Each structure stands twice: as structure tokens, then as C-alpha cells.
Chain A
Amino acid sequence: MELNGGSVVAMVGKNCVAIASDLRLGNQALTIATNFEKTFPITDRIIIGLPGLATDVITLKERFRYRVNMYTIKEGREIEPETFAHLVSSTLYERRFGPFFVEPVIAGLTKPSEGSVPFIAGTDLIGCLTLPKDFVVSGTASDKLFGMAESLWEPDLGPEELFETISQTLMNAVDRDAFSGWGAVVHVITPDKVITRTLKGRMD
């Protein structure tokens, strides 16, 4: 995890979810790139965050795209967030004894006919799922993210309040982490749109 660095956080709001990642890609202490997003859209209502070993981040992004496409064709419908979380879990557990070095975070809304219910999940590197009702943190700044999120998050935040909460959580956490930072990207998923904003942060 400390080879490339990077952090992701997801939070539940009222009829919305947010997921955010930093933009740094490093080789240990040396920063290689400052535009490396660790969040990837899966459907119009699901985004996955993949902090960890960059080579595995890219491999898994492609593998999830392939598996979700196969699911969509076979089932003739879009995948639901909870189903996708289990897909992530089983994909990682396939490599139980030679794991991918990523700790995914999943954020999504259920389909509108089921009420657009917020969904967040996190797994460890071998796919052990956790389904909290408040927030998920992951990556090299996870302890700092825990401290920030635990003190800033509150239930039933609207999209704009949730954006502010997740942004402050991420920015202040990564500013105390040498392996994360260099700006951030934040997505807020609402029933009718996904709001994406790129944040400028400390460049040191």
C-alpha cells in the first residue's frame, strides 16, 4: 500500500452517496504523477474506489468492467450496488493466497424503483466485505480519515452538505499523510445526476 500511496473515502447522505479519492501516484517517497484518480464508474449509479498497488488498481478496474459487462449481457439489466459489492468480494477472494494489493471502496444508489437507497461498502485485500451505515475509509491515510470522518460526519446530509463533509474529511486527512494528497476528486451520486468536482489541494 505504501509503494504507490493513495486514499479513498465514501460517505452516506440523505438520498445520496459520495466517494472521493486523492490524485497522487508515487514510488515510495517520490511523487510520479498528480493526476491518478482512484475512483472508477461502474454504472450510472455505482462508483468504485481502488486505493493500493497501482498496477493492481488498473488490472482490477479492467477486470470489473469485463465482469460487469458480462453480467449486464447475461442478466439483461444493470448490476445493483450490493450485487457488485459481492462481485468485488468474490473476484478478490479468487486470489486468496496471492492477493491483489487493493482495499476497494464501493458507493452507489439502488435503482429508483427500489427507492434510490444509498449503499456503501468496503473490503480488505482478499475481499472481506464490510457494510457500514455511515462511511468507509481506505488507503495510506485511513487512520487520519477515520479521525476526520468520525468527527465531521452526521446522518442525513444533503448532496451539497455531503460534498463539503467528504471534501474536508479527505483534504485534511491527506495533508497529514506523506503518501497521499496532491489534490482530490469528489463524486456525489444523487438519483438524477452524479456531481463530480476536482479539488486543488496542498502541493507538498
Chain B
Amino acid sequence: MSPISQPTSVAFNPYAENGGTILAIAGLDFAVVAGDTRQSEGYSIQTRYAPKVFRLTDKATLAVNGFAADGNIFVKTVKQRLEWYRHAHAKDMPLRAIARLIQTMLYAKRFFPYYVYNILGGIEEDGSGAVYSFDPVGSYEREACRAAGAASSLIQPFLDNQIYFKNQVAVSGTSHPKHLPILDVLSLVTDSFTSATERHIEVGDGLEIYVIVASGRSLTELSSIAGIEEVTGSASATDRVFVIRRELKKD
């Protein structure tokens, strides 16, 4: 051993990329937030069931994608802040306020960020369906639809085409619909994920679709969906939350 000590470097990477994809679409009086349930690191699957979509309140769900450890802690902290809000104000935080809360929470860690892309979906105070998408440091925007995560590049152009009707011309005298019916939206979500599962190794195993429905809306269309489950928190809630679970290919 040399009498002169050499400098040693210690490399520690506090981040990992855990794959998966999330997607949200806003309707006129509903919102759909979906994510696959595979969690991977490199070529290894850590688990086939790790939820990425979480119910925050009866009018808000949050999808988190990226570094799973950060994502889970972030959701936990957001839920805690929402509970504090309930204790202080005796009501659930409005969706647009949750969006701003998420921005400040993300930007608070501007120089050691939560390595996650967030998509918030739910019902606004005016009863409209809304989707808010965030980057890891809190830049956010309200949109009609957004895909994030490993297969976002596969899904987002499809959404541009099918939701925004990009590169499509309406028959003269007619116009493209601003909002799609809920069953059409759900078909687009399942098609997006089955396609992404075919072509992306980090997407697959299972699909969880959260549907947040505004108070006045009829639920007849939803009752026709196989295996739909209500996950609304309180019995007095006016907006309601449902979850649809589907299998995706596991290879």
C-alpha cells in the first residue's frame, strides 16, 4: 500500500427511472386518468402491480410517473397537505388550488427535484372536467389531454390526432367536437395503452383507469362497463370517482 493516500471518488446516484406511462383526458363534465402498473428498472421488472394513479379527493386524482420512490413520497405529502386543508377549511381543496399547491411543492425542490412527471385530473369548481400536467420542477398547464412517461412519445401524437383532430378536416358545414363522449374516451385510453404495450418494453402488465364524474352527470353509460368499481371517499360527495382495471400483455 502506498504511503501517500490517493483521492477516492464516491459515486452515488439518488435517482432511478422506473418506466411506465400515464395518460389523462378531460371531458365536458368528467376526467379520465390512467396509468399502467408495471414498475421496472433497466430490463428487470420489479413488480407487475405498482399503482401510479391515486385518488386525492372526490374531485381529484393524481398520476405520477418517473422515479417511483419520489413519486410515492410526493403523493403521500400532497395527501397530507390536503388533509391539513380539510382540517383548516372543512372542505376539500378545489382542483385548481391543488394544481397550484403541486407547483409550489415541486418548485420548493428546484435544486434537488422530485424526479417525476405529474398529471392531475378531476372536476373544477364550475363542474368541468380538467387535466393539469406538470414537469418535474412545477411548470404546469391546464390541457384537454396529456400523456407522460416512457411511452409518451408513442401516445401523444395519437392523442393529437384523435382528441384534438390534428391533421383532420371536418366535413364542410360541420365541426370537430370539443369534447368526446366518455365511452369514446375510454376506448382511446385502452387503445393507447395496448399499442404502447406492443411497442414499449417498459409498458404492460396492468392498466388502471380512474374516472372522475361531475355531480350532475348521468352514470348510465358507466354502469355498462365490465368490472367498474366506485372508489368515492365520502358518502356525501357530489362528484364521484370510479376505477376500471384491465389486463395488459405481460411480455
Contact = CB atoms under 8 A, between A and B. Distances in A.
Interface of A: 143-144, 146-148, 150-152, 167-168, 171-173, 175-176, 201
B167 A171 contact: yes
B199 A147 contact: yes
B151 interface: yes
Given A151-B192, A152-B161, 18 more contacts: A143-B153, A143-B154, A144-B153, A146-B154, A146-B199, A147-B153, A147-B196, A150-B154, A150-B199, A151-B195, A167-B167, A172-B160, A172-B166, A173-B157, A175-B157, A175-B166, A176-B153, A176-B157
Nearest to A144: B157
Contact of B158 (A147, A167, A171, A201): A147
Contact of B155 (A147, A152, A167, A175): A147
B230 interface: no
Q: Which 8 A-B pairs have the closest CB atoms?
A: A147-B154, A150-B195, A151-B195, A172-B161, A171-B167, A172-B157, A143-B153, A146-B199
A150 B198 contact: yes
7 contacts: A143-B154, A144-B154, A147-B156, A150-B154, A151-B191, A167-B167, A171-B166
Contact of B151 (A147, A167, A175): A147
Contact of A147 (B166, B167, B168, B195): B195
A194 B161 CA distance: 27
Given A147-B151, A147-B154, A147-B155, A175 B199 contact: no
Given A147-B153, A175-B166, A176-B156, A168 B161 contact: yes
A172 B153 contact: no
Contacts, number: 55
Interface of B: 151, 153-158, 160-161, 166-168, 191-192, 195-196, 198-199
A62 B154 CA distance: 34
B70 to A, nearest CB: 25
A168 B161 CA distance: 8
Contacts of B191: 151
Contact of B157 (A148, A167, A201): A148
B17 to A, nearest CB: 16
Nearest to A150: B195
A139 B158 CA distance: 18
B186 to A, nearest CB: 15
A173 to B, nearest CB: 5
Nearest to B147: A147
B150 to A, nearest CB: 10
A80 B69 CA distance: 55
A153 B166 CA distance: 17
Contacts of A176: 153, 156-157, 160
A172 B151 contact: no
Q: Which of A148, A151, A176 has the most CB of B within 10 A?
A: A151
A172 B158 contact: yes
A147 B21 CA distance: 13
Contacts of A171: 166-167
A48 to B, nearest CB: 24
Contact of B167 (A143, A144, A150, A172): A172
A16 B2 CA distance: 74
Contacts of B160: 172, 175-176
Contacts of A201: 167
B167 A168 contact: yes
